[in-house]
Chain A
Amino acid sequence: MEKLSARRRHPLAALVALLIALAAAGGLYAAFAPTQQAQANPAQSLAIDQGKGLYDVGCASCHGTSGQGSHNGPSLVGVGAAAVDFQVGTGRMPAQQPGAQVPKKRPVYTQPQIDQLAAYVASLGPGPAIPNPSQYAPGDVASGGQLFRTNCAQCHNFAGAGGALSEGKFAPELRNVSPKHIYEAMLTGPQNMPSFPDTTMPEPQKRDIIAFVTHVTNPSSNPSYGGLSLGSLGPVPEGLFGWIFGLGVLVAASIWIAARTAKARK
């Protein structure tokens, strides 16, 4: 140390000190800086490549070879991974045939394949990502009920039983729809459903709605207290049932009573 301090007035001392400081700063930066983002994620790139392979086989005929869309299907640039996860995860895509509305069916792809497809479509343009489980964990049922009646019940019915729209389109029933898919549907607005983005329907409100939908459509948490719910479709089927079966039974009983004589000689 004595030797070092003796040379502190050496003409090159300042240069040496500067070099040491620079090396220390650089080393510290290299040690603490998040280097992950700067590098390509090999797993992600692989998923995109595999997704592209699946896309070319299953989707490109309608949505175009690079997702630009065609007269058979809309562009997928910017729809995001959430839209893919919803459409493919509920079996709506790939569509069986064009029509007023593509219905739900048994999914064609496995969840890992759906994730690869989603990774590929997400790489086409920025869009909503697949939510993580904490984002769609059920919230408050009561608040969700209020939000559901304001935003959703007009099409999906007060009990989530769905309803008709124009020209063969319909709002599907919400029974057995997974919380993730409900969240993605609100986020992306599939087909003719309007979207409810986080800017107008923040995440806690979405979680409340999910809590309400799963509560109200599940017979074990929300049993039909009155017995026959007749599909929870509202007053029209209930009235029809009352008029046809209720009055029908009364008329039949009256006829039965009057048709039988009480006389001894029949």
Chain B
Amino acid sequence: MTHQDSNAADHLPERGKPGKAVDPFADPGLPAHEPRRQDIDERAAKHSERVVTMLFVLAVIAAFGFIASYVLIPKSKVVFIFPVGHVSAQNFALGGTLGIALLCIGVGAIHWARTLMSDAEYASERHPISAPPEVRRKVFTDFQQGVAESGLGRRKMMRNALLGAMTIVPLSAIVLFRDLGPLPEKKLERTAWAGGKRLINMNDNQPLRPEDIAVGSLTFAKPEGVQESDEDFQEVMAKAALMIVRIMPSDIKDKRSADWGHQGILAYSKICTHVGCPISLYEQQTHHVLCPCHQSTFDLADGGRVIFGPAGHPLPQLRIAVNGQGYLSALGDFDKPVGPGYWERSA
């Protein structure tokens, strides 16, 4: 040992002398209990009790205030409250009184727990939870005696029949899972659009003519025969919603898309192909339509192609033409399923 080593070893606990060993990670135990003012001064305790009582009484008063504001303040009354501006007086009073009531109960409970309830620390020792050996032996012998007396080990046919019954009876509930179906089959592929159905303007319920649709305009349409009073109107329109734009034919890049329209009038599904949000944030100069949910962007001048965002399919286009009476009408349903993709989607 060199001189330096012995110097460094001076600070370490010495080995081989248990009497003098110091455990550096010894459990320090609980610190000595410190009393609170309320524990030693009865007047302070009384004061805390009064404060807590007052808080609870205040909660009761605020609750009465809540009832009173509901009964007395007219619903239409509007007041100006400085930081929030013009608000309904009743809403403000209801929220304020209920907030005060709940806050008083909470503050009172915390003040009670911190100043008056016992704050002495207790150690709760943990012990193994297994039973003593003689108790375990007794349980095992009792169980084996029960098995022998019931005849489960001897009468095998009966036992197996019981096991069968216990298995089959719960399994019979499996048939109930049928009620989660039936599978959508072709329901998601078809919409209310069909050949010959005229395009009805959502704004005035009138069939649209090509001369109604100006370049740069945006119009929403529903299929002929669908009424807003129909019971399944929302369900039908969730798939059939249509937006109609008119683009200068020279600006249309996709030949097939132009052919499916009428002199620049193009009809696209309004349902985003990502997760089915209604999209119609149409920029008439760029011919882009954006989805407000995840910013998928479609180019209506290029066959509804996705040019940005998470959408996986172009926007389905409805084939339209002008019928004998001069109205815009569909030549069939959408050629692709509208809306988001799904497992059974064929195209």
**Residues of A near any B CB (own CB < 8 A):** 147, 150-151, 154-155, 163, 165-166, 169, 171, 189, 191-197, 199-202, 205, 219-220, 223-228, 257, 262-265
Contact = CB atoms under 8 A, between A and B. Distances in A.
Interface string B28-59: 00000011111110000000000000000000
A211 to B, nearest CB: 15
Interface in B269-290: 278-286, 288, 290
Contacts of B201: 200
B202 interface: yes
A71 B86 CA distance: 48
Given A151-B203, A202-B203, A223 B283 contact: no
A150 B278 CA distance: 10
A264 B40 contact: yes
B37 A225 contact: no
B218 A196 contact: yes
Contacts, number: 113
Given A151-B203, A154-B281, A200 B213 contact: yes
Given A189-B216, A199-B211, A223-B86, A194 B284 contact: yes
B99 to A, nearest CB: 12
A256 to B, nearest CB: 11
Contacts of B114: 257, 262
A225 B88 contact: yes
A219 B85 contact: yes
A227 B81 contact: yes
A72 B291 CA distance: 30
B254 interface: no
A96 B280 CA distance: 30
Given A150-B203, A154-B292, A165-B283, A200 B219 contact: yes
Given A150-B203, A192-B284, A202-B204, A228 B36 contact: no
A199 B36 contact: no
A265 B35 CA distance: 8
Contacts of B214: 195, 197, 199-200
Nearest to A204: B204
Given A223-B78, A227-B84, A227-B87, A265 B34 contact: yes
B72 to A, nearest CB: 18
B218 A197 contact: no
B203 A263 contact: no
Given A189-B284, A264-B40, A195 B217 contact: yes
A202 B40 CA distance: 83
A192 B283 contact: yes
B216 A225 contact: no
A165 B278 CA distance: 15
Interface of B: 34-40, 78, 81, 84-88, 91-92, 95, 110, 114-115, 119, 201-204, 208, 211-214, 216-220, 245, 278-286, 288, 290, 292, 295, 297, 308
A257 B220 CA distance: 58
Nearest to B279: A154
A195 B212 contact: no
28 contacts: A151-B218, A154-B281, A155-B281, A166-B288, A166-B295, A166-B297, A166-B308, A169-B283, A197-B212, A197-B217, A199-B211, A199-B213, A199-B214, A200-B212, A200-B213, A200-B219, A219-B86, A220-B86, A223-B87, A225-B87, A226-B87, A227-B81, A227-B95, A228-B85, A262-B38, A262-B114, A262-B115, A264-B34
Given A195-B214, A201-B203, A224-B87, 17 more contacts: A154-B280, A154-B292, A163-B281, A165-B281, A165-B290, A166-B295, A189-B216, A196-B218, A200-B212, A200-B214, A219-B85, A226-B91, A227-B81, A228-B85, A262-B38, A264-B35, A264-B39
A209 B103 CA distance: 44
A195 B282 CA distance: 10
Nearest to B270: A154
Contacts of A219: 85-86
A204 B101 CA distance: 50
Nearest to B219: A200
Contacts of A154: 278-281, 292
A12 B319 CA distance: 74
A154 B40 CA distance: 67
A192 B85 contact: no
B93 to A, nearest CB: 12
Contacts of B290: 165-166
Given A166-B288, A262-B119, A150 B220 contact: yes
Contacts of A151: 203, 218, 220
A194 B285 CA distance: 8
Contacts of B95: 227
A199 B288 contact: no
A220 B79 CA distance: 10
Contacts of B308: 166
B203 A147 contact: yes
A151 B292 CA distance: 14
Nearest to B221: A200
A165 B286 CA distance: 11
Contacts of B84: 224, 227-228
Contacts of B119: 262
A265 B33 CA distance: 11
